Amino acid sequence: MQTPSIITMQSLSKFYEMGDQTVRALDSINLDFRKNDYTAIMGPSGSGKSTLMNILGCLDTPTSGIYELNGQDVATMDDDELARIRNKEIGFVFQTFNLLPRLNCLRNVELPLIYAGVAPEEREERASKALINVGLGDRIKHKPAELSGGQIQRVAIARALINNPSIILADEPTGNLDTTTSHDIMNIFGKLSEAGNTIILITHEEDIAHYTRRMIRLRDGKIESDVRR
């Protein structure tokens, strides 16, 4: 039985003008992500995976082509609409964690809820629940500087999940972590996938990619291979 598509990309291209050259960062790719897909996007640098990640995350819009996220045409949206989509539909996890250093874990995690217009009491409740879910119930009032790298990334995962997004978009989430911690983080992603989340992972590490169930390889802006396991 085919699960419905969350993301549909059709002949999607992104070109950059560099001087008088046109760089084809993404060259009319077709992609489809279904609900509960657990995907790794791989490729050497310059293959277009960052560009794809930006477009998937609605941080950037394609030059041409169709991008539908949850049935909404994202390619033609303006900045504020994209901001709303990022807020509601996408949970970001970054290689560099990107927590605000002056805020404690709770305040970091509730940030997306502020932009979603959720009341303070509910924000606090949901953020602490999310932190408990990633095993940081005892670190709620700690600041990022007081946590280890793995703990920080777990805070970031809690933040990504807080608004129940349609997809979780993780950009080299283990890039700054040691092997053991990486393994822990990947286990969390595994559990999230088992719980029904749709996860897209961008990585250049084969062994990290092997945690997933689908591997997409990019080269020169085109899809080289797309393998489901």
Residue 206's CB is within 10 A of a number of other CB atoms, namely: 10
**Does residue 15 bind other proteins (CB under 8 A)?**
no
What are the distances in angstroms from CA 171 to CA 99, 105, 209? Answer: 15, 20, 12
Report 96-135 residues binding other proteins (CB under 8 A): 98, 100, 102-103, 111-112, 114-120
Residue selected from 47, 54, 193, 198 as contacting other proteins according to rule CB under 8 A: 54
Report 162-191 residues binding other proteins (CB under 8 A): 163
**Does residue 146 bind other proteins (CB under 8 A)?**
no
CA nearest to 127, candidates 148, 100, 156, 98? 156
Q: Are strands 5-18 and 21-34 parallel, antiparallel or unpaired?
A: antiparallel
Shortest distance, CB of residue 214 to other proteins, whole angstroms?
24
What is the DSSP annotation of 15-49?
EEEETTEEEEEEEEEEEEEETT-EEEEE--TTSSH
Shortest distance, CB of residue 61 to other proteins, whole angstroms?
10
Q: Which residues of this chain interact with other proteins, rule CB under 8 A?
A: 54, 57, 59-60, 79-81, 83-84, 86-88, 92, 94, 98, 100, 102-103, 111-112, 114-120, 159, 163
